[in-house]
Amino acid sequence: MADYHFVYKDVEGATTQWDDIQRRLGNLPPKPEPFKPPAFAPKVDADEQPKSKEWLDEREPEELEELEDDLDDDRFLEQYRKMRLAELRDAAKAARFGSIQPITGSDFVREVSQAPSDVWVVVFLYKDGIPECGLLQTCLEELATRYPATKFVKIISTDCIPNYPDRNVPTVLVYNNSAVKGTYVGLQKFGGRKLTPESVALALCHSDPVLNDGHGGSDSSRNNVMEGVRKKFIEKVVSQHEAREEYDSD
CATH of the domain at 105: 3.40.30.10
* Model pLDDT, residue 167: 96
Q: Which band of pLDDT confidence, cut at 50, 70 and 90, is reported for residue 29?
A: confident
* Model pLDDT, residue 81: 67
Q: Which band of pLDDT confidence, cut at 50, 70 and 90, is reported for residue 150?
A: very high
Q: Is residue 87 domain-resident?
A: yes
Does the pLDDT of residue 47 top 70, yes or no?
A: no
Query: Is residue 107 classed as helix, strand or coil in its secondary structure?
Result: helix
Q: Are 162 and 63 members of one domain?
A: no
Going from the C-alpha of 84 to that of each of 44, 126, 152, the distances in angstroms are 24, 41, 29
Q: Is residue 36 domain-resident?
A: no
Q: Is residue 238 domain-resident?
A: no
Going from the C-alpha of 104 to that of each of 23, 43, 107, 152, 190, the distances in angstroms are 95, 59, 5, 14, 25
Q: Are 182 and 86 members of one domain?
A: no
Q: Are 119 and 207 members of one domain?
A: yes
Q: Read off the DSSP letter of residue 48.
A: S
**Cβ(103)–Cβ(154) below 8 Å:** yes
Burial class (CB in 10 A: 0-12, 13-18, 19+), 97: buried
Does the pLDDT of residue 205 top 60, yes or no?
A: yes
Q: Are 71 and 112 members of one domain?
A: no
Mean pLDDT of the chain, nearest integer: 78
Of 101 and 34, more confident: 101
Question: pLDDT over 70 for what percent of the chain?
Answer: 58
Burial class (CB in 10 A: 0-12, 13-18, 19+), 181: middle
* Model pLDDT, residue 54: 63
Of 29 and 196, more confident: 196
Q: Is residue 24 domain-resident?
A: no
Q: Read off the DSSP letter of residue 61.
A: H
* Model pLDDT, residue 25: 75
* Model pLDDT, residue 38: 72
**Domain end among 68, 94, 120:** 94
Query: Is residue 216 classed as helix, strand or coil in its secondary structure?
Result: coil
Does the pLDDT of residue 62 top 90, yes or no?
A: no
Q: Are 87 and 184 members of one domain?
A: no
| 171-176 and 100-102 strand pairing | unpaired
Query: What is the total count of domains within the chain?
Result: 2
Q: Are 68 and 161 members of one domain?
A: no
Q: Are 73 and 113 members of one domain?
A: no
Measured CA to CA, the distance from residue 94 to residue 181 in angstroms comes to 22
Q: Is residue 31 domain-resident?
A: no
Q: Is residue 191 domain-resident?
A: yes
Q: Are 62 and 137 members of one domain?
A: no
Q: Are 160 and 89 members of one domain?
A: no
Q: Which band of pLDDT confidence, cut at 50, 70 and 90, is reported for residue 20?
A: confident
Q: Are 114 and 188 members of one domain?
A: yes
Q: Are 88 and 196 members of one domain?
A: no
**Domain end among 38, 61, 94:** 94
* Model pLDDT, residue 46: 46
Q: Is residue 47 domain-resident?
A: no
Q: Are 122 and 181 members of one domain?
A: yes
Q: Is residue 5 domain-resident?
A: no
* Model pLDDT, residue 5: 52
Residues in contact with 76: Cβ distance below 8 Å, sequence separation at least 6, in sequence order: none
Q: Summarize pLDDT for 64-115 with one digit per residue, the tens.
A: 666 665 555 566 566 666 776 666 665 555 557 889 999 999 999 999 999 9
What is the extent of the structural domain holding 81? Answer: 53-94
Of 43 and 170, more confident: 170
Work out the number of other CB atoms within 10 angstroms of the CB of residue 171: 20
* Model pLDDT, residue 209: 87
